[in-house]
Amino acid sequence: MMSPVKPEDDAVRDPDALMRNFERLGYIADRSLATSIFLITKLRKPLLIEGHAGLGKTEVAKVLASMLGTELIRLQCYEGLDTSSSVYEWNYQKQLLAIKIQEGVAQTVEEKERYIFSREFLLERPLLKSILAQEASPVLLIDEIDRADEAFEAFLLELLSDFQISIPEMGTIQARHIPYVILTSNRTRELSDALKRRCLYHWIDYPTFEKEMRIVRTRLPDIEEELSKQSVRFVQAVRKLDLEKPPGVAETLDCVQAVALLGKHRLSADVIEETMGCLAKSMEDGARVRAAGIDQLLSQATG
């Protein structure tokens, strides 16, 4: 088992070394991304990663947590996300039970309130959990922040500015170990300037042929080289079409694996048709790929 790389080690003091450690854990990062990750380990500023879906934004946080040997805490954002789901809520049933048990006990009202609003009755959600980490700085992944509404985005500012959270019944809780924060966005909406100012920024674009081949070789080392090349070229040709959801690297990996699992050694129109669901994520996109001509796209991949 590979030993984690601690933040104080030489391996994370250098973006090039960080690239090597990411590759060791199966993630191909270019120097620009490696530099951004290196900076958040030193500056302790959040990193906002934007890009199309399926390009490995979420995976950055997972690999960073593995590399540092620390906990990954993930908050999946969605419309209507509020503090009870993201920060904390009180265990009301447990509080009511405690009140019932303590009936008749000689305590002042203040003492009873202090007890039932203590940490024992607190249900920790991802943001609070990241602040309360006791052993080491966790990696906090705030995934798809663009899906949350602007009110929640504004709430995040206190956390990202001072790494503290205010709970009316308990006061302000300051982080003992500042988390490494990574936010991801698919740009379904524009984020506020206030949020962006608190973050470093990195855009992940579709990879070049050479980089995508490195990813496939790293993640799927047993796949035949020629099949990998054909699949990557075909996916890159499909990305040039006017699709609602162009395939990302995740779809490339699915496509390569699917063809190999079917026992095929080369791409063909029939195989592409059979595995269309790996690339096209809607009926309309599948129709657009077919309309462009599978044979023509295939010729670009095998030519």
Token code pair at residue 13: 């003091």
> Model confidence over 181-208: pLDDT tens digits?
999 999 989 999 999 999 999 999 999 9
For the ranges 49-53, 107-111, 150-154, the one whose mean pLDDT is highest: 49-53
Residue 80 has pLDDT above 50, yes or no: yes
**pLDDT the model gives residue 169:** 83
**Single-letter amino acid code for the residue at 37:** I
pLDDT band at 2 (very low <50, low <70, confident <90, very high): very low
Instruction: Please report, for the chain, how many H helices and E strands are present, in that order.
Output: 15, 9
**pLDDT the model gives residue 10:** 54
Residue 270 has pLDDT above 60, yes or no: yes
> Model confidence over 7-44: pLDDT tens digits?
445 557 789 989 999 999 999 999 999 999 999 999 98
Q: What are phi and psi of 121, to 5 degrees?
A: -105, 10
**Single-letter amino acid code for the residue at 172:** T
**pLDDT the model gives residue 8:** 46
**Single-letter amino acid code for the residue at 234:** F
Burial class (CB in 10 A: 0-12, 13-18, 19+), 172: exposed
What share of the chain in percent tops pLDDT 70? 95
Q: For the chain, give the mean pLDDT.
A: 88
Average of per-residue pLDDT across 251-267: 92
Average of per-residue pLDDT across 99-128: 81
CB contact set of 188 (below 8 Å; sequence gap of 6+):
146, 147
**DSSP annotation string for 39-99:** HHHHH---EEEEE-TTSSHHHHHHHHHHHHT--EEEEE--TT--HHHHTEEE-HHHHHHHH
Residue 96 has pLDDT above 60, yes or no: yes
pTM listed for this prediction: 0.85
Average of per-residue pLDDT across 87-97: 87
